[in-house]
């Protein structure tokens, strides 16, 4: 399954600088609003040490990690929901992503203009939230007008749908994001076709200066306090440091650079982990002499659905899954010895795939 994260934020918060640093695509970066007009897409491989372990054990012809797409969406401004700053086009781009990475400026630099005149992460967050909420409210209102007619005619299904829509309407009018509403499956079904912007999972990327990368600062503290009741993640990152990391090709040199700043991993890795966490994703592997490959699925998926990520025929004709745990592969070194030791599990259609499973699927179409 493809994973797309949209990078949003007010102009001059470091959004495009961050995108340039973490992706193979390059967005124009400049000290003025709207330097990115079309959304740029950068495809990044997901780092996973387990792939290297499997490569050393299996010696495949190739290794294929899973990927994540970062979409750089041009800076939003106050009034975007009404078309300000080409807002309608940018808001439409956000609808197509799985999660939002909201870059928020948490550093002070008099040489970089702030559209609001000063650094205020809470203000920045609320500006974006308000624009997205207004757009969602428009979408909900339009659907309410359509459903109301059927509900008034006595249609029971329409009445339930209307009640769900009105619940979202009241929440949005209260200045709250749809993701924070306590909802049922019925409620979610009522707005599924609307692709609400504020229902998408969000990661707040607090962009700090180099001096604050480990200890944080008052701006980060204010942001964390403001979003503490949201189902969201806050990742502290320095776009400036990420830009320097992006220029280093040698892995050992890159590790030494990180250690100089007291970092265990890059900001990119932090964002990827946060994306997987907030979207409830896990990874399983297939391993053979042709290839070792990582596959991304939703946590809780059963074996047939996981097989379907490889090919729809695998899911349709699913017979069974042969499952190996990585620790057993490391201990017994080969698939044959794993079988001899009775460590290869044979699982049926009800098996819930676990993160890190190594799987072979048997199917018949």
In the sheet where 62-64 sits, what is the strand order? 62-64, 291-298, 281-287, 358-363, 318-324, 345-347
Six-digit token pair at 347?
């699982």
The reply, when asked if residue 12 is annotated as ligand binding, is yes
On whether the CB atoms of residues 195 and 142 are closer than 8 A, the answer is no
Contacts of 336 (CB under 8 A, 6+ apart): none
The reply, when asked if residue 9 is annotated as ligand binding, is no
∠ Cα 229 19 81 (to 5°): 60
The closest alpha carbon to 9, from 118, 100, 138, 88, belongs to: 100
On whether the CB atoms of residues 326 and 345 are closer than 8 A, the answer is no
Six-digit token pair at 116?
């609001």
Q: Virtual CA dihedral for 10, 277, 280, 307, nearest 10 degrees?
A: 110
The reply, when asked if residue 17 is annotated as ligand binding, is yes
Cα distance between residue 201 and residue 178, in whole Å: 10
Q: At 363, which helix (H) or strand (E)?
A: strand 358-363
Six-digit token pair at 278?
């907030």
Cα distance between residue 287 and residue 360, in whole Å: 8
Six-digit token pair at 82?
């009404």
On whether the CB atoms of residues 212 and 107 are closer than 8 A, the answer is yes
Q: How many residues are there in the chain?
A: 365
The reply, when asked if residue 127 is annotated as ligand binding, is no
Neighbours of 239 (CB within 10 A): 25
On whether the CB atoms of residues 191 and 168 are closer than 8 A, the answer is yes
The reply, when asked if residue 16 is annotated as ligand binding, is yes
The reply, when asked if residue 177 is annotated as ligand binding, is no
Binding-site annotation: residue ranges: 12-17
Binding-site residues for ATP:
12-17
């Amino acid at each position: 399954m493809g994973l797309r994260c949209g990078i949003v934020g007010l102009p001059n918060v470091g959004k495009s600088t961050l995108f340039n640093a973490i992706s193979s695509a390059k967005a124009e970066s400049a000290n003025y609003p709207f330097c990115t007009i079309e959304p740029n897409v950068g495809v990044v491989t997901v780092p996973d040490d387990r792939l290297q372990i499997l490569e050393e054990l299996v010696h495949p012809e190739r290794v294929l990690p899973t990927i994540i797409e970062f979409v750089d969406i041009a800076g939003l401004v106050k009034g975007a929901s009404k078309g300000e700053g080409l807002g309608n086009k940018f808001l439409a781009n956000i609808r197509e992503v799985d999660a939002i990475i909201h870059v928020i400026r948490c550093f002070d630099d008099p040489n970089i203009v702030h559209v609001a005149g000063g650094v205020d992460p809470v203000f920045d967050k609320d500006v974006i939230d308000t624009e997205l909420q207004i757009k969602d409210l428009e979408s909900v209102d339009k659907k309410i007008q359509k459903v109301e007619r059927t509900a008034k005619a006595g249609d029971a299904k329409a009445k339930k749908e209307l009640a769900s829509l009105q619940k979202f309407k009241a929440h949005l009018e209260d200045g709250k994001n749809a993701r924070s509403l306590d909802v049922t499956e019925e409620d979610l079904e009522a707005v599924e076709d609307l692709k609400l912007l504020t229902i998408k999972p969000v990661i707040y990327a607090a962009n700090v200066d180099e001096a604050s990368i480990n200890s944080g600062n008052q701006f980060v503290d204010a942001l964390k306090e403001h979003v503490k009741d949201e189902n969201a993640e806050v990742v502290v990152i320095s776009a400036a440091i990420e830009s320097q990391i992006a220029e280093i090709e040698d892995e050992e040199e890159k590790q030494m650079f990180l250690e100089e700043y007291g970092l265990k991993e890059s900001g990119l890795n932090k964002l990827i982990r946060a994306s997987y966490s907030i979207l409830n994703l896990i990874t399983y592997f297939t391993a053979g002499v042709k290839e070792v490959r990582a596959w991304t699925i939703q946590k809780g998926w059963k074996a047939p659905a996981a097989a379907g990520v490889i090919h729809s025929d695998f899911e349709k004709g699913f017979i069974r899954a042969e499952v190996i745990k990585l620790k057993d592969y490391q201990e017994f070194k080969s698939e044959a010895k794993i079988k001899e030791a009775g460590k290869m599990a044979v699982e049926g259609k009800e098996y819930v795939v676990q993160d890190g499973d190594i799987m072979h699927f048997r199917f018949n179409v």
